[in-house]
Amino acid sequence: MPVATLLPFTATPSRKSSSPTSFRLTEKFILLLVFSAFITLCFGAIFFLPDSSKLLSGVFFHSSAVETNTRKGTDSDSNIAVGTDEKILAKIRKDHEKALVEAKDTLQKRPDEIKQDIQNEKDKVFKEDLSKGGKDDDNLPVIEYVQPPGATGHEPSDPETKERREKIKEMMKFAWDSYKRYAWGSNELRPVSMQGHSSNLFGSIKGATIVDALDTLYVMEMYEDFEMATEWVEKNLDFNVNAEVSVFEVNIRFVGGLLSAYYLSGKEVFRKKAIQLGEKLLPAFKTPTGIPWALLNLKSGIGRNWPWASGGSSILAEYGTLHLEFMHLSKLSGNPAFAEKVMNIRKVLNRLDKPQGLYPNYLNPNSGQWGQHHVSVGGLGDSFYEYLLKAWLMSDKTDEEGKKLYYDALQAIETSLMRKSSGGLTYIAEWKGGLLEHKMGHLTCFAGGMIALGADGAPEDKTGHQMEQAAEIARTCHESYARTTLKLGPEGFRFDGGVEAIATRQNEKYFILRPEVIETYMYMWRFTHDPKYREWGWEAVQALEKHCRVEGGYSGVRDVYASSPNHDDVQQSFYLAETLKYLFLLFSDDDHLPFEHWVFNTEAHPLPVIKKEMTDTDKPNQLE
Ligand code: DMJ
């Protein structure tokens, strides 16, 4: 009993200054009586109340069950105390019985069922934790960053390879320094006029070169520049713009670039910006079928398609090149909407008939029907096929649907589009309403690398066959470079009218620093270690240095058959993101960004494989 409650008995408040010595005898007697009655009552309570030991244990040992129940009654009401006590015993008995039943159930379960139960319980706790504050200021789940293996490399032991690798780093430094000097903050650099260049693909979003180059700076260990670029992203990269952007371009360059920068460096700013931008892109999917618009106003959320695209269609290579980035966005944000959107695209495609198993480039987002039957593994189609394969690889080979779609599509391409010229060059033609156009684009040259990457998983012992196809495409694309004056590849080359691997139309003769041929050399080198791929890459380096390097950076050229270069005055952001990165990796050891841990998006931004053995709760930056 608290000491304070005894006070009224020892001092009478009305007696202002009286001391105990001034009590009269009768008063003393009454006090003594009251005090002894109180003592008797206390002893009675201890010794005579039933099962008093339990009440004592309730006082001294704070068993929560007892405490909770005793708080409901009064100490002096022995009947209620007995009732409460029985209730406790009954509850204990019930809990024991329940535990026994559960144990029996568990013993009857298969190990995989038990594992699943444990996982469900873990997921539940994880979700509860999140809702209890496992989120940061931006309401994103708190993630413990773990750097995937091979994010950094080392110098090759062979002196020539080391020297060539150094040279490519110097090229990157020159391209980057020139951009910094003349066009900092703009989307791209005009290296001849030495000023900024703003492509309308990105609306008024700025800094495409900075975001596209981030991971190349990291991979080449240009850390000071990486820090500078990071600071720019933190302070200046803004998506709250009233402008129309290309959903595809913004996704592959900005979302992809930010995601890679996050996975390489662990800097939260990149995760936040990637998710912010991803959220801005979501309204593009507001169409009757969920097939996204090509163009989107980031402020109003209103989308539309390119006016030139067959009957208001969306483009296969655009809506089909969101999968990798959006799967990672769901992973990093905890928001399933991103993954749902891209999985729905597959659903729509699965419902449609494919002419000869091929995917036409145009699909109407309102009706869900194909537009013109034009098929291409180059422009308008290319990265759709790439992302089917890479979706499977990035899922640690669990996305069986992606795998099947890829190998089925490749079979259809082989049957209907792949041809050999009379001079023995394998090429992938284009298909227009059932007729073949014997033309191959520079863009199509990525297919050598793609086929090599997928060869290992090819069904029906086709691995060797696909490696041969990949090597043949690499050779054809090399020929398209070798047969020009500047030793740089044309935008498109033909296999008709008596020519092979040569551009015949003026508007196909330009070279804009594209990466696809070098990309294929890099994959072929990794899979075969045939030195010719490094030699071919080095030939391209020399041509770039000779004809594209100008005072203020690197420029594309208008005609690769001309005797001297006529510069187009644009240093494309993908030159830093892709061309130079693939060149650097071509002269690096295989354990730098190894394929078992990383998948490159179509802009060469490395994204980690989402390992299947790591569950959501074990490794939060890996997708289940
Ligand atoms: C890049 O932006 C991407 O590779 C895209 O898939 C198509 N091509 C350009 C570079 O050529």
Q: Give pLDDT tens digits for 351-374.
A: 999 999 999 999 999 999 999 999
pLDDT of residue 85: 65
pLDDT of residue 41: 57
pLDDT of residue 91: 73
Ligand 1 within 6 A of CB of 494? no
Choosing from 188, 386, 399, 516, the catalytic residue is 516
pLDDT of residue 30: 64
**Amino acid (1-letter code) at residue 41:** L
Average pLDDT over residues 369-386: 98
The least confident of 22-26, 111-115, 149-153 is 22-26
Angle, helices 400-416 vs 446-455, to 10°: value is 130
Angle ∠(201,207,212) on CA atoms, nearest 5 = 80
Mean of the per-residue pLDDT values of the chain: 86
Pocket residue to mutate for ligand 1, from 187, 323, 383, 512, most atoms within 8 A of Cβ: 383
At residue 269, the 3 state secondary structure works out as helix
What atom in ligand 1 is closest to the CA of residue 442? 11
Task: Specify the pairing of strand 314-315 against strand 418-420.
Answer: unpaired
- Nearest protein CA to atom 3 of ligand 1, as residue: 603
Per the CB < 8 A criterion, the answer to whether 221 and 214 are in contact is no
- How far does residue 577's CA lie from ligand 1's centre (Å)? 10
- How far does residue 288's CA lie from ligand 1's centre (Å)? 28
Q: Higher-confidence residue: 118 or 401?
A: 401
Written as six digits, the tokens of 499 are 């020519």
- How far does residue 476's CA lie from ligand 1's centre (Å)? 19
DSSP element (H, E) containing 468: helix 463-482
DSSP readout, 479-537? HHHHTSSSS---SEEES-TT-SSB--SGGG--B----HHHHHHHHHHHHH--HHHHHHH
Q: Higher-confidence residue: 101 or 153?
A: 153
pLDDT of residue 114: 65
- Nearest protein CA to atom 8 of ligand 1, as residue: 443
Per the CB < 8 A criterion, the answer to whether 470 and 448 are in contact is yes
pLDDT of residue 137: 72
Average pLDDT over residues 151-178: 98
What atom in ligand 1 is closest to the CA of residue 321? 6
Q: Higher-confidence residue: 415 or 138?
A: 415
Written as six digits, the tokens of 343 are 């999985």
Q: Is the backbone of residue 500 left (phi > 0), alpha (psi -120 to 50) or beta?
A: beta
DSSP element (H, E) containing 506: none
- Nearest protein CA to atom 11 of ligand 1, as residue: 514
Task: Specify the pairing of strand 435-437 against strand 430-432.
Answer: antiparallel
* Nearest-angstrom CA–CA distance, 536 and 23: 116
Ligand 1 within 6 A of CB of 383? yes
Written as six digits, the tokens of 361 are 């480039």
Written as six digits, the tokens of 94 are 């019930």
Confidence of residue 7 (pLDDT cuts 50, 70, 90): very low
Residue 615 known to bind ligand: no
> Is 460 a residue of the active site?
no
CA distances from 76 to 9, 46, 49, 553 (A): 21, 11, 9, 92
Confidence of residue 138 (pLDDT cuts 50, 70, 90): confident
What atom in ligand 1 is closest to the CA of residue 519? 4
pLDDT of residue 621: 44
pLDDT of residue 86: 73
Confidence of residue 33 (pLDDT cuts 50, 70, 90): low
Per the CB < 8 A criterion, the answer to whether 607 and 263 are in contact is yes
Written as six digits, the tokens of 7 are 């006070």
Confidence of residue 83 (pLDDT cuts 50, 70, 90): low
* Nearest-angstrom CA–CA distance, 354 and 431: 13
pLDDT of residue 203: 86
Ligand 1 within 6 A of CB of 574? yes
pLDDT of residue 84: 57
pLDDT of residue 120: 61
Per the CB < 8 A criterion, the answer to whether 515 and 442 are in contact is no
Phi, psi of 102 (to 5 degrees): -60, -45
Nearest alpha-carbon partner for 270 in 257, 255, 258, 252: 258
**Amino acid (1-letter code) at residue 185:** G
> Is 249 a residue of the active site?
yes
What atom in ligand 1 is closest to the CA of residue 383? 6
Average pLDDT over residues 110-114: 65
Phi, psi of 437 (to 5 degrees): -105, 120
> Is 102 a residue of the active site?
no
Q: Percent of the chain, pLDDT > 90?
A: 74
At residue 370, the 3 state secondary structure works out as strand
CA 555, 556, 560, 564 torsion-angle sign: negative
- How far does residue 608's CA lie from ligand 1's centre (Å)? 20
What atom in ligand 1 is closest to the CA of residue 516? 11
pLDDT of residue 27: 62
In tens, the pLDDT along 502-537 reads 999 999 999 999 999 999 999 999 999 999 999 999
Confidence of residue 159 (pLDDT cuts 50, 70, 90): very high
- Nearest protein CA to atom 10 of ligand 1, as residue: 514
pLDDT of residue 110: 64
* Nearest-angstrom CA–CA distance, 444 and 201: 21
Residue 78 pLDDT exceeds 70? no
Residue 539 pLDDT exceeds 70? yes
Question: Could you tell me how many residues make up the chain?
Answer: 624
Residue 614 pLDDT exceeds 80? no
Written as six digits, the tokens of 296 are 């989107």
Confidence of residue 58 (pLDDT cuts 50, 70, 90): very low
Choosing from 188, 212, 249, 519, the catalytic residue is 249
Per the CB < 8 A criterion, the answer to whether 91 and 68 are in contact is no
Ligand 1 within 6 A of CB of 514? yes
pLDDT of residue 22: 47
- How far does residue 446's CA lie from ligand 1's centre (Å)? 9
> Is 414 a residue of the active site?
no
The least confident of 136-140, 187-191, 357-361 is 136-140
Choosing from 85, 188, 472, 491, the catalytic residue is 491
* Nearest-angstrom CA–CA distance, 263 and 148: 7
Max avg pLDDT among 39-43, 44-48, 354-358 = 354-358
Residue 552 pLDDT exceeds 60? yes
Per the CB < 8 A criterion, the answer to whether 602 and 386 are in contact is yes
Residue 15 pLDDT exceeds 50? no
Confidence of residue 119 (pLDDT cuts 50, 70, 90): low
Confidence of residue 40 (pLDDT cuts 50, 70, 90): low
Estimate to the nearest angstrom the gap between the alpha carbon of 56 and the chain centroid. Answer: 60
The least confident of 95-99, 245-249, 302-306, 420-424 is 95-99
Using only C-alpha atoms, the chain has a radius of gyration, in whole angstroms, of: 36
Q: Percent of the chain, pLDDT > 70?
A: 79
Average pLDDT over residues 412-437: 97
Fold of 163-608: Glycosyltransferase (1.50.10)
Choosing from 382, 479, 568, 578, the catalytic residue is 382
DSSP element (H, E) containing 83: helix 78-108
Residue 75 pLDDT exceeds 90? no
Residue 549 pLDDT exceeds 50? yes
- How far does residue 535's CA lie from ligand 1's centre (Å)? 23
* Nearest-angstrom CA–CA distance, 12 and 4: 14
Residue 441, strand partner residues: 492
- How far does residue 485's CA lie from ligand 1's centre (Å)? 24
pLDDT of residue 233: 98
* DSSP3 helix / strand / coil % (the chain, rounded to 5): 55, 10, 35
Ligand 1 within 6 A of CB of 244? no
The least confident of 31-45, 385-399, 428-442 is 31-45
Pocket residue to mutate for ligand 1, from 251, 315, 443, most atoms within 8 A of Cβ: 443
Matching residue, tokens 């996050």: 262
Confidence of residue 184 (pLDDT cuts 50, 70, 90): very high
Average pLDDT over residues 554-582: 98
CA distances from 601 to 207, 262, 382, 446, 616 (A): 19, 14, 13, 12, 22
pLDDT of residue 576: 99
Residue 571, strand partner residues: 189
Q: What is the pTM for the complete model shown?
A: 0.79
Confidence of residue 16 (pLDDT cuts 50, 70, 90): very low
| Beta carbons within 10 angstroms of residue 236's beta carbon | 12
What are the residue boundaries of the structural domains of the chain, listed by start? 163-608
* Nearest-angstrom CA–CA distance, 282 and 455: 34
Q: Higher-confidence residue: 203 or 251?
A: 251
Average pLDDT over residues 302-307: 98
Written as six digits, the tokens of 251 are 């996704």
- How far does residue 330's CA lie from ligand 1's centre (Å)? 24
* Nearest-angstrom CA–CA distance, 584 and 578: 10
Residue 9 pLDDT exceeds 50? no
Nearest alpha-carbon partner for 246 in 192, 292, 189, 311: 292
| Beta carbons within 10 angstroms of residue 94's beta carbon | 10
Secondary structure of 3-70 as H, E, C letters: HHHHHHHHCCCCCCCCCHHHCCHHHHHHHHHHHHHHHHHHHHHHHHCCCHHHHHHHHHCCCHHHHHHH
Per the CB < 8 A criterion, the answer to whether 205 and 254 are in contact is yes
| Beta carbons within 10 angstroms of residue 87's beta carbon | 13
pLDDT of residue 513: 99
Ligand 1 within 6 A of CB of 602? yes
- The residues, ordered by sequence, that sit 6+ positions from 71 with a Cβ below 8 Å of its Cβ are none
Confidence of residue 135 (pLDDT cuts 50, 70, 90): confident
What atom in ligand 1 is closest to the CA of residue 249? 2
Average pLDDT over residues 386-394: 98
